[in-house]
Structure 1
Amino acid sequence: MSILSVVAALAGSSTPPLQSLPGLSPLTIVGGLLLLIAIAAVYSAVEIVEAYEKEALTVFGEFRELLEPGIHVIPPFVSRTYPFDLRTQTIDVPQQEAITRDNSPVTADAVIYVRVMDAKKAFLEVEEYKRAVSNLAQTTLRAVLGDMELDDTLSRREMINERIREELDEPTDEWGIRVESVEVREVNPAAGVKQAMEQQTSAERKRRAMILEAQGERRSAIEQAQGAKQSDIVRAQGAKQSQILEAQGDAISTVLRAKSAESMGERAIVDKGMETLENIGQGESTTFVMPQELTSLVGRYGKHLSGSDVSGTTAVDGDGSLDSLDFDAETRELIGLDNIAEIIGEIDEEAQVDIDAMEEEARAIKEGDDARASRSEPVEERE
């Protein structure tokens, strides 16, 4: 209540006149009233504006200016101020019901962050800008949801926020208000639609599970088939190598047996021939007829005895080596095929030692016969 109203109330009251107040002179009463009026005028003329505000000043209902933060002196009793908070403010948009493009009912609510950029426009262009922005956001939210399908309203939340903010920008700029952000908090479909969506999601998950299970079984079958194939290949290769090694072993064994039998036969022939020579040497004849087998044997192991070029046929090549089989280096090393020539060489050395011994014995017998022939007369040739 202002000082003028107080004075008017005192003047219109039924109190006794100033002259009737006991103990107070009229001058004292008037001085007190003037003091009260002065205090009220000073209080009404001083206006303090907060740092986060601006105030619109009107004098006799006419807009004068915007008061900046600080202390201001304004005309007393005839001025009014309207504060505007310049900080970012939050406006709740109540829950709205809408029908999507595919005729699905949904409900949604949102929150809007606004800021007063021009306090003069917010004072002169719109009445209660917060309520105006909230109402405009409600209609915009329903319109945006109505232009979208149900799946988009549930999954494309960022697009809804952006479209609402764009729709609010143009009208709020005329009010001196800037919409900084819009956030849709919840979008809920109707109960029946929500239940159908849950069933659809469950069916989709079951379908994916069945597909994954089938793919897993197919991959398992492929892996098993590949493993069986590789196992068969390895077994076949092992059987093949085993057969090759067995055949090579049989061939080597046959060659060695043939070589050993040939050597033993030749030794028997030589032994028999030496016995014959010994018997002949004990006779009186000086003319000897050598058996063909013995000459062939001597021609094979030493041409200097008979000069014969008769050569025996064996299971080996002309150079005394075994016919080489075309095996890889690993197999040849495994079965020792390269060592066969060395083995045969050892057998030949043993045979050569026996032949040298037989030659020495033949020389000795011949020298003995020649000595006896020089001491006696020649005898007739033995048939």
Structure 2
Amino acid sequence: MSDSAARELGRKSAGLSTRASVALFALFAVGAGFAFGVIEFDPLVIAGLALLFVAAAAVSSAVEIVEAYEKEALTVFGEFRELLEPGIHFVPPFVSRTYPFDMRTQTIDVPRQEAITEDNSPVVADAVVYIKVMNAKRAFLEVDDYKRATSNLAQTTLRAVLGDMELDETLSKRERINRRIQRELEGPTDEWGVRVEAVEVREVNPSTDVKRAMEQQSSAERKRRAMILEAQGERRSAIETAEGDKQANILEAQGEKQASVLEAQGEAISTVLRAKSAESMGERAIIERGMETLEEIGKGESTTFVLPQEMTSLLSRYGKHLTGSDAATGGTELESLGFDGETRELLGIDSIEELAAGSESGDVDLEIESADIELEDEIE
């Protein structure tokens, strides 16, 4: 017997008990009156009391009160007459019966069902179904007990749905099972005047052996992921170490290169400074050095000397200095003069200045290279 039928039977029994109690109390009162001589034994009195009792019973059976959340089907002589709405109603006494229907949303527990999935794995599942009576007349005339019928239909549908799915789907696609069961229930229950509002599968459990196998598979999967993560960490560490060694080698090579460049620049600058110092001495220093050389030559025994053309050119210009053509007339010493074009070419002073100019541009190139190296480091 369903819960609703049990509650209805209890309610009806309570109503009958109340009426029976009233009747028994009336009979007891009449019997007590006759026993104590309060009421004289008179056929008319007896008839009046009997009529009074029948009238009370008729009124009691003619008044029907319907609760606010219910509707009641009324039958007279076993024939359906109408649905009684919430409130007080007067029905034919003694020949009418009422059958209440709860119009609220009701829950039906679907017992645990054993099923075999499509991949031959045994599972056990249970569910709960939410229904609501939409047409009390159909629920009264079309089905004996709509709640029991809905529960039985939900059980068979649950087993059928689980049998059409694989084990993994039954465990992971719970919403799909709910929708399919609800769709299968809607057709028959609509004919009963009942609407299935929702279906919820509460639990799906595989067999013990299947559970054990799934736990082993899950443990193996976790170990595999841990090994992958560990290997990825080692790989990342090796890459970082290699990148660090690479950057150290690059910086070391750049330092050696810069040291070489700076050393070369220092030598170039030293050469330029020596050349400029020689230029600042002027022709006088060169001529004096040449005269010292001639003096050393004159000390020899030979009377024939071969002088380079450059030396004769210097001597000729020295003679001009002695005559005062290129020197100040009022002084007693020769002043240092700059080299002319021929002497500069002879000593290679112009080439030295070009080298100095090249070293200065080399500083610029070095700065550019340093900037490029820093930019590459930032990009890497």
Alignment correspondent of 1:92: 109
Whether the 8 Å CA contact 2:275–2:349 is kept in 1: the answer is no
* 1:333-357 Cα deviation digits (max 9, x unpaired): 9xxxxxxxxxxxxxxxxxxxxxxxx
Distance 1:111 1:54, change over 3 A: same
Which of these residues, 306, 324, 335, is aligned with residue 358 of structure 2? Answer: 324
Whether the 8 Å CA contact 2:182–2:196 is kept in 1: the answer is yes
Deviation, structure 1 residue 231 = 2.6
Residues in 1 aligned to 2:105 and 2:290: alpha-carbon distance in whole angstroms: 133
Whether the 8 Å CA contact 2:275–2:352 is kept in 1: the answer is no
Q: Please state whether the residue corresponding to 2:40 is helix, strand or coil.
A: coil
Whether the 8 Å CA contact 1:316–1:323 is kept in 2: the answer is no
Q: What is the aligned residue count?
A: 306
1:184 aligns with 2:207: no
Deviation, structure 1 residue 29 = 1.8
Deviation, structure 1 residue 34 = 1.1
1:32 aligns with 2:49: yes
Whether the 8 Å CA contact 1:269–1:294 is kept in 2: the answer is no
User: Aligned ranges for residues 43-58 of structure 1 at < 5 Å?
Assistant: 43-58=60-75
Whether the 8 Å CA contact 2:114–2:125 is kept in 1: the answer is yes
Residues in 2 aligned to 1:202 and 1:248: alpha-carbon distance in whole angstroms: 69
After TM superposition, the score normalised by the length of structure 1 is 0.71
Which of these residues, 231, 236, 239, is aligned with residue 222 of structure 1? Answer: 239
1:311 aligns with 2:328: no
Over the aligned positions, Cα root-mean-square deviation in angstroms equals 3.5
* 1:261-312 Cα deviation digits (max 9, x unpaired): 554585645677999xxxxxxxxxxxxxx98546557999xx9619986423
Deviation, structure 1 residue 46 = 1.0
Distance 1:116 1:296, change over 3 A: farther
Q: Which amino acid aligns with 1:238?
A: G
* 1:48-95 Cα deviation digits (max 9, x unpaired): 111111100000111111111111111011100000000000100011
Of stretches 221-230 and 322-331 in structure 1, the one that deviates more from structure 2 is: 322-331
Residues in 2 aligned to 1:27 and 1:103: alpha-carbon distance in whole angstroms: 83
Q: Which amino acid aligns with 2:343?
A: S
User: Aligned ranges for residues 165-180 of structure 1 at < 5 Å?
Assistant: 165-180=182-197
Residues in 2 aligned to 1:120 and 1:187: alpha-carbon distance in whole angstroms: 37
Provide the identity percentage: 67
Unaligned regions of 5+ residues in structure 1, if any? 11-16, 276-289, 334-383
1:149 aligns with 2:182: no
Distance 1:297 1:95, change over 3 A: farther
Whether the 8 Å CA contact 1:49–1:55 is kept in 2: the answer is yes
Residues in 1 aligned to 2:44 and 2:249: alpha-carbon distance in whole angstroms: 131
Distance 1:75 1:319, change over 3 A: same
User: Aligned ranges for residues 1-383 of structure 1 at < 5 Å?
Assistant: 23-261=40-278, 263=280, 268-269=285-286, 293=314, 295-296=316-317, 305=326, 310-312=342-344, 313-317=346-350, 322-325=356-359, 326-329=361-364, 331=366
Unaligned regions of 5+ residues in structure 2, if any? 1-15, 28-33, 293-310, 328-338, 369-380
Residues in 2 aligned to 1:258 and 1:308: alpha-carbon distance in whole angstroms: 15
Q: Which has the greater radius of gyration?
A: 1
Residues in 2 aligned to 1:37 and 1:328: alpha-carbon distance in whole angstroms: 131
